[in-house]
Amino acid sequence: MAPVGYPERAVVGRPARRLKNLRRLREQRALSQAELAERAGLSRATVVSLESERAGAQYATIRKLAEVLNVEPADLLGPGAD
């Protein structure tokens, strides 16, 4: 069995993004945090962290949430997001 190799430099992905509109959009659709989490395939703790902006979301998570909420991914980010 060959030894596990590690990259010589860190692999950097897209930065995590703050979802400034997540709570408002979820509440407009009358979804609980648990319901949104279940439909998006996330944990409730993840939704709580994202709504409180203690954590940022990777693009795959943003896409899942946007699909469940029936919005464009950019709608979750808030004004001035690029």
Mean pLDDT value across residues 7-23: 67
Q: How many domains does the chain have?
A: 1
Distance CA 22, CA 37 (A): 12
Q: Which residue segment(s) compose the domain that 49 sits in?
A: 22-76
Widest distance between CA atoms in the chain: 54
Mean pLDDT value across residues 73-82: 76
| DSSP-derived secondary structure for 59-81 | HHHHHHHHHHHTS-HHHHH-TT-
In a domain, 40, yes or no: yes
CATH of the domain at 43: 1.10.260.40
Q: What is the mean pLDDT of the chain?
A: 83
Distance CA 48, CA 54 (A): 9
- pLDDT score for 16: 78
- pLDDT score for 14: 54
pLDDT for 7 beyond 80: no
pLDDT for 49 beyond 90: yes
- pLDDT score for 63: 94
pTM: 0.77
In a domain, 14, yes or no: no
